[in-house]
């Protein structure tokens, strides 16, 4: 009787194991693609300095290199320097 109920519900359907196999296989491929995608995104955005794992956000003037704060040739500007550069740009444009 119990077997008959399972049979009607499709639990012992022959396509069941295969469906499980393919969906498991597919999700593994999906995970590999996601991890591979994350690695390629990371490799595109990390510092260009060899062996540096930090995220590179700072383009080096005159080059195509993008490096992290640690490897950038210029020191971080102070607030005063940012304001001075802003005022100088406004004067230059006027």
Interface residue with Zn ion among 20, 49, 65, 84 (CB under 5 A) is 49
Q: How far is the CB of 12 from Zn ion (least distance, A)?
A: 59
Whole-angstrom Cα distance, residue 86 to residue 20?
62
Residue with smaller CB distance to Zn ion, 44 or 92? 44
DSSP H helices, 10-78, are 15-45
Contact 50, 61 (CB under 8 A): no
Residues in the chain: 94
Residue with smaller CB distance to Zn ion, 18 or 42? 42
Which are the contacts of 60, defined by CB distance < 8 A and separation ≥ 6? 66, 67, 72, 73
Q: How far is the CB of 26 from Zn ion (least distance, A)?
A: 38
60 binds Zn ion (CB under 5 A): no
Residue with smaller CB distance to Zn ion, 26 or 73? 73
* Binding-site ranges for Zn ion (CB under 5 A): 47, 49, 52, 54, 68, 71
């Amino acid at each position: 009787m119990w077997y008959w109920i399972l049979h009607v519900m499709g639990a012992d359907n022959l396509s069941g194991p295969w469906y499980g196999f393919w969906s498991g296989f597919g999700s593994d491929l999906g995970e590999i693609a996601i991890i591979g995608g994350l690695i390629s995104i990371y490799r595109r955005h990390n510092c260009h300095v060899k062996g540096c794992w930090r995220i590179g956000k700072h383009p080096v003037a005159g080059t195509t290199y993008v490096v992290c704060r640690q490897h950038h040739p210029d020191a971080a500007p102070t607030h005063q320097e940012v304001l001075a550069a802003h005022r100088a740009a406004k004067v230059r444009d006027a």
